[in-house]
Structure 1
C-alpha cells in the first residue's frame, strides 16, 4: 500500500514577511541576552529579576496572541532564527572572552545540551527511556582519556572514537532493551548504569575510584590550554573550549534535524507511535529502535569525550544515577524533541543553582520551585515539539 508523500507539519504559518524575520531575529537575541545577564549577575535582586522575566516570557508566549504569533514566526523562519542564535552565541562568547567561570558554564551548557540531543533521539523519537545517559557520557570521557593519553591519534578522531565506542558498548543493552517495554526498559538502563560505575571503580587499569587524567583538547596541534590571546585580545583558555562546544552542538543540531526530516526519522516516529501498525507497513520496530538508540549514544559519547578533555580528568562519579536523572530532567523540562528547549532547560538546571550559591540555604528550594512552576503551567516543557502529521499531500 502506498501512502504517498509524508511530511512534517506544524501549525499553519502565514507567508514570511519582514516583521516575521525581525521577530525571528529578535527572539533568540533576547534569549541569549538574558543568559548573558544571568552569567554576569552578582546580586540576588538581579537573579530574581531574571527569573521573573523568564517566567513572564513563558506566559507571554503561551497565553497571548502576540506570543503565539512570535512562536509561529520563529517556526516559520527556522533558518533566520538559527542564524540569529548562532551570531548571538558568538557575541556572547566574545563579550565574556576573559571570564573563566562564565565560559566554563557556557561550554558545560552546550555540551550537556549536545548530550541531551542524543537522549532526545532515543526518548522523543525512539520512545526508549534511557536512565544511563550519564554512564555513556562518562564512557566517552574514558575513551578520550585512554586514546588521547596513550596513543598518537589526532584529537578530532579521539572525539569520533568516543562516539563509536559508546555506541558499540550500547549494543550490550540492545537485546534486553528491545525485549522489554515501559518501565522495564528504564530498570534495565538503570541496572546498566550502576553496573558500569561499579566496574569503573574496581578497575585499577582505568584509575579505579580516583579516575584518570585526560590531556587537553589539541586539534591540529593547537593546545586549547595554552591559548591566551586572539587577535591581540587577552582571552580565557576556556574560550576555545566554549567555541568547540558550540560547534559540536551545531553539528548535533543539524544531524538531529536531518534525521527528523528524513524517511528514517519518520520511520522511527511511526515505530514509537504504534509498533504494530508500523510492522504492518513493513517497518521493523527492533531495527528502528536500535537505530535511534545507537545514534543517540554516539552523540552522548562525543559530548562526553570533549567534556572530559576540557576538565582534564574523569572518574566513575560522573556515571551515577543522579547525573543521569539530571540529563533526563533537562530533556523533559525543555520539551521532548525540541532542541532549543533543551538549551533553555540546560541553562535553568545547570546555571541557575550555581548563581544562587550566595543564598546557599534557599537556592535548592528556589530552584525546585521554578522547575515545579514550569512543569505545572507548561506540562509539555519549555518548548514542546510540534506534532508530526503524517498524511497524503493529495488528500488520499
Structure 2
C-alpha cells in the first residue's frame, strides 16, 4: 500500500492518521475494554503528549526517542491527578471525571500563552536514530514522500502494541482485569487489589495515548487546542464501540470507518456528517456489539483464553 501511495501526500497522511488513531484506541482498549475504566478524555491525554514534544523542542535538540518516551510519561503523570477520583468512583461518575478533565484541558491550553493559546504552536519534526522523518525516502529508484516515514513508524508501533495487548489478554493479567471489570466486589473478596489493576490499566493506556499524540503533533508540525477537543475523545470512544469493546481486531475497520468515511463524503459538503452519523447508527443497529464483538473467555486447565 505504501508503494502505491508513495507520491500521494494526502493518502499517506490519512494512512498515518488512521494508524495513530489505532494506537490511541489500543491505549483506550486497555482501560475500557480490559479494566472497564471509562475514559472520555483520551484526546486530552493525546494533546498532553503533543504539547510535551512541542515544549521539548524549545530546549534544542532532544533525541527523538527521549521525546516520545517523555510524551508518554507526562501523559501518565497527568493521569495520576485523576486517579484519586477515578479509583473512588464507578460507572457514570468516573466517566464524568474524565469528561471534566477533557474540558479543563481545552480551556487551559487556550488560555496559556506559553502553549501558544488558541493559535497553537509549531512542533519540530521527529528525528529518530539520526533519521530525519521530514525527508523523502529514496528506495529502489522510487521516491516516497516523507509521510511514509510516519506510516512505517506507526505501523510498527501498532503491530508491537497489538502483539503486547494480545499477550496481555491471553495471560492471567487479562483474566484479572476481566474480573475487575465485571465485578469489583467479587474481585476484592477473592483478594485482588482492584486499585492496583486499575492503576496498571490507566498507566499503560495513557502512555499509548500520549505516544500517539506526540507522533501526530510531530507529523503535522503544528498543534492547537482544536486538534484535541471533546469531540475527538468521543470519536475515539465510538471507534471502540463500533469495533467491539475489548476486541483489538475490530479497531482497524472501525477506525477506517470513523476517520476515512467523512473525508470520502466531502463531495456532499455539510451533509457528510449527517450521512456519517446515519451509517454509524445503522452499524450499531445491525451489530449492537460492534463489528467484531469480543468472544467470551473460556478457561481451561493450563490455558487462560
TM-score by length of 1: 0.74
Residue equivalent to 1:54: none
Residue equivalent to 2:156: 247
> Cα offset for 1:316?
1.5
- Equivalent residues in 2 for 1:50-89 (5 A)? none
- Equivalent residues in 2 for 1:89-104 (5 A)? 92-104=1-13
Residue equivalent to 1:367: 276
The superposition leaves residues 312-359 of structure 1 with CA deviations (integer Å, 9 ceiling, x where unpaired) of: 011122231111111111111111112221111111011011011112
Residue equivalent to 1:267: 176
Residue equivalent to 2:245: 336
With over 3 angstroms needed to count, the CA separation of the structure-2 counterparts of 1:393 and 1:233, relative to structure 1, is closer
Is 1:294–2:294 an aligned residue pair? Answer: no
Residue equivalent to 1:218: 127
TM-score by length of 2: 0.95
Distance in 1, matches of 2:137 and 2:169, equals: 40
With over 3 angstroms needed to count, the CA separation of the structure-2 counterparts of 1:271 and 1:359, relative to structure 1, is same
Larger CA Rg, structure 1 vs 2: 1
SS at match of 1:234: strand
Answer yes or no: is the 8 Å Cα contact 2:27–2:209 preserved in 1.
yes
Question: Which sections of structure 1, spanning at least 5 residues, go unmatched?
Answer: 1-91
With over 3 angstroms needed to count, the CA separation of the structure-2 counterparts of 1:151 and 1:281, relative to structure 1, is farther
> Cα offset for 1:228?
4.8
Answer yes or no: is the 8 Å Cα contact 2:72–2:207 preserved in 1.
yes
Question: Which sections of structure 2, spanning at least 5 residues, go unmatched?
Answer: none
Distance in 2, matches of 1:278 and 1:151, equals: 48
Aligned residues: CA RMSD: 1.5
- Equivalent residues in 2 for 1:181-196 (5 A)? 181-196=90-105
Answer yes or no: is the 8 Å Cα contact 1:135–1:318 preserved in 2.
no
The superposition leaves residues 239-292 of structure 1 with CA deviations (integer Å, 9 ceiling, x where unpaired) of: 111111111111211221122122222211111111111112210111111111
The superposition leaves residues 199-244 of structure 1 with CA deviations (integer Å, 9 ceiling, x where unpaired) of: 1111111112222111111112221212252232122111111111
Distance in 2, matches of 1:231 and 1:163, equals: 35
- Higher normalized contact order (CA 8 Å, seq sep 6+, divided by chain length): 2
Is 1:173–2:105 an aligned residue pair? Answer: no
Residue equivalent to 1:323: 232
SS at match of 2:2: helix
Answer yes or no: is the 8 Å Cα contact 1:140–1:303 preserved in 2.
yes
Answer yes or no: is the 8 Å Cα contact 1:353–1:363 preserved in 2.
yes
Residue equivalent to 2:295: 386
The superposition leaves residues 119-160 of structure 1 with CA deviations (integer Å, 9 ceiling, x where unpaired) of: 011001111110000000111111111123424321022111
SS at match of 2:134: helix
SS at match of 1:206: coil
Q: Tell me which of 227, 236, 239 is aligned to 2:136.
A: 227
Distance in 1, matches of 2:257 and 2:295, equals: 22
Residue equivalent to 2:147: 238
SS at match of 2:69: helix
Residue equivalent to 1:305: 214
Distance in 2, matches of 1:375 and 1:350, equals: 17
Distance in 2, matches of 1:154 and 1:263, equals: 36
